[in-house]
Amino acid sequence: MVGAHYDRPIYREEQDKRDRGAVVRRWGKAYFEAVVKGYQAARMAVIYIPIHYQGKMGRVHPVIERVLTARDQEMSRRGLGDLHSQGVEAARALSADGVAPLEKRPPIHRVEERRIAGPGGDIPLRLYWPNDDKELPLLMWFHGGGWVLGGLENSDLHCRQLANQAGCCVVSVDYRLAPETPYPGAIDDCMAATVWARKAAAELGMDPGRIAVGGDSAGGNLAACVAYRARAAGLPLVFQLLVYPITDADFSRPSYLDNAEGFLLTRSAMQWFWDCYVPDPAKRTAADAAPLRAADLTGLPPAFILTAEFDPLRDEGEAYGAALQEAGVEVVIRRYDGMVHAFFNMITDEPVAQIDAAAQDAVEALRKAFL
């Protein structure tokens, strides 16, 4: 068995040495027990201790708390008791209003809109180039939103950031949404876009031998599912960047119960998303819907999985990492303490160390994969 590797916690402010030592000792013991009882059974080779907010655990970061309060106030102003009870259009309107303003988006060398033929009609794409170099590596990016919400605008900010900082091209895919197009429409579109990008890579100044897939939430699900399908199709991929991915339809995991309400993404919202995307429960165990249910994960590309402490999806994301490791796939899991679902995309009124660290970790993982 390969031994686990432990990062030291990252402290962003100086603290009393006695308090720091107590936190490290307390976390170290609990973490060791969790590894022995859970991850050791899955032969977890690499797992990172979370980045702690000021060395403390068990609370939402105060800046994130303000984001949650503002979100609740906006929903109340719109007469929404939750994200989904008033239907798809109300949920999409709320999601669209959360798009980063143009002045917050970093400049980038080149952006181009394209449409390609897909299995259900044209698929809109947005392509990003950080420079004019030839044979740049490529990241296929699939946006989040529970397969129901979101689009190219929702992902524009971090697609620019990832392209600029990782030195790669990014192709963002505007796949068909549920419930208008249920499973397998979204994964069919994402797979078709990835096949197209590999064929068109030379023409676009990209390296067909260095293609990674990535996404957040439902987009992380689609990235994992594209990697699964690509293996069967003989389409080589070098990496998976999975940001708090959906990997299963089991709503009984501890993170679903502990974080059912009050942390942006709710348990009931996730049940609604699954009802929209895969309305037939019998199909929710398909490997290209719930990759954690796949019988064989061998031969998949290396993965970096980001999870958040107060996220219903935390446990299934980490369980998927354990399953990948059990299958012999190189995987790194990093949990960010004090964070909630969607923190990777949040614009806050002051810097948050965990958000900055997650962005940098993602960039470093991509750079390493593209070497």
| Residue 97 appears among annotated catalytic residues | no
Options 95, 172, 217, 255, the catalytic residue: 217
| Residue 341 appears among annotated catalytic residues | yes
| Half-sphere exposure for 294 (CA within 13 Å, toward CB) | 29
Options 52, 143, 158, 341, the catalytic residue: 341
Q: How many CB atoms lie within 10 A of CB 332?
A: 20
| Residue 217 appears among annotated catalytic residues | yes
Joined together, the tokens standing for residue 123 give: 């698929």
Detail the DSSP E strand segments found in 235-330.
Answer: 239-243, 303-310
Distance separating the N- and C-terminal Cα atoms of the chain: 28
Amino acid at residue number 217: S
Q: With residue 250 as reference, give the H or E element that holds it.
A: none
Cα angle 266, 27, 317; round to 5: 35
Cα 299–chain centre separation: 21
Distance CA 83, CA 265 (A): 9
Residue by residue, DSSP assigns 261-326 as SSSSS-HHHHHHHHHHH--SGGGGGSTTT-GGG-S--TTPPPEEEEEEEE-TTHHHHHHHHHHHHH
Options 174, 216, 311, 315, the catalytic residue: 311
Catalytic residue positions? 217, 311, 341
